[in-house]
Amino acid sequence: MSDSFENWKEGGDAGRRQRRWQTDIETVAVVGIRSVDCAIHDLSPSGAQIELLSEANVRVGDRVRIEMFEYGWLDTVARNVEGNRIGVQFILDEQDMVELARFMVSLRISRKPPRQEVSRPAELRVAGNMLVCTVENISPTGASVVLPGVPEFGEGENVDLALPGHPSIAAIVKRVDGSTCGLMFLVQFDGEL
């Protein structure tokens, strides 16, 4: 855990571009040796905002363990403390963040932001292969892409969407309908097309 903590300290706010979910999940946090009821609000693969439902003396830099429903316990560090609301950053490496994002996506707790209708060429990287595609619509959390033919992959496939002028976006295929694929991004897309 100490290696992950050192990496977190050097990482700064790099995780703020992660996809975020608005939630109201009641759970338990451990502060020091004390167990405290809490509610998880703004949630991402790299951190969360929690609300302590009883008194606990938490300072910036304190370690806080949070029980994340069926996922298990997550070690975190308090980044921001305002009364009983605490912004925490998970002490996870990049692979663990992706795993947590997949878990959160499977819970279907995501909100659906409006999609921007576009018709832009792009590339879809699937299992080492590059496929030419057209992005039909896009939002900060996903996109619909059309391939030249019916894909040889299905729902649940890990892919990367490469848009000209933007960094590659890690995604999961959530829907395949003929040659059209619905993608759910694992990181938030904040660009303009």
pLDDT for 86 equals: 94
Cα–Cα dist 14/42, whole Å? 17
Indicate the residue type of 36: V
The tens digit of pLDDT for each residue in 125-182 reads 998 899 999 999 998 878 999 999 999 898 889 999 999 999 899 988 988 989 999 8
Q: For the whole model, what pTM was predicted?
A: 0.50
C-beta separation of 47 from 90 below 8 A:
yes
C-beta separation of 145 from 136 below 8 A:
yes
Same fold, 2-106 and 116-185: yes
Residues 6+ apart with CB under 8 A from 41: 22, 23, 24, 48, 49, 50, 51, 85
Radius of gyration of the chain (CA): 19
Q: Residue range 6-19: average pLDDT?
A: 45
SS3 of the chain: helix, strand, coil, percent, to 5: 15, 50, 35
CATH number of 116-185: 2.40.10.220
Structure tokens of 38?
Answer: 């809490």
The tens digit of pLDDT for each residue in 38-80 reads 888 888 888 899 998 888 889 999 999 998 777 788 899 999 9
Give the start-to-end residue ranges of the domains of the chain: 2-106, 116-185
Mean pLDDT of all residues belonging to the chain: 81
The tens digit of pLDDT for each residue in 93-111 reads 888 887 887 777 776 554 4
Percentage of the residues of the chain whose pLDDT score is greater than 70: 85
Cα-based angle 120, 141, 134 (whole degrees, multiple of 5)? 20
Domain spanning 2-106: CATH 2.40.10.220: yes
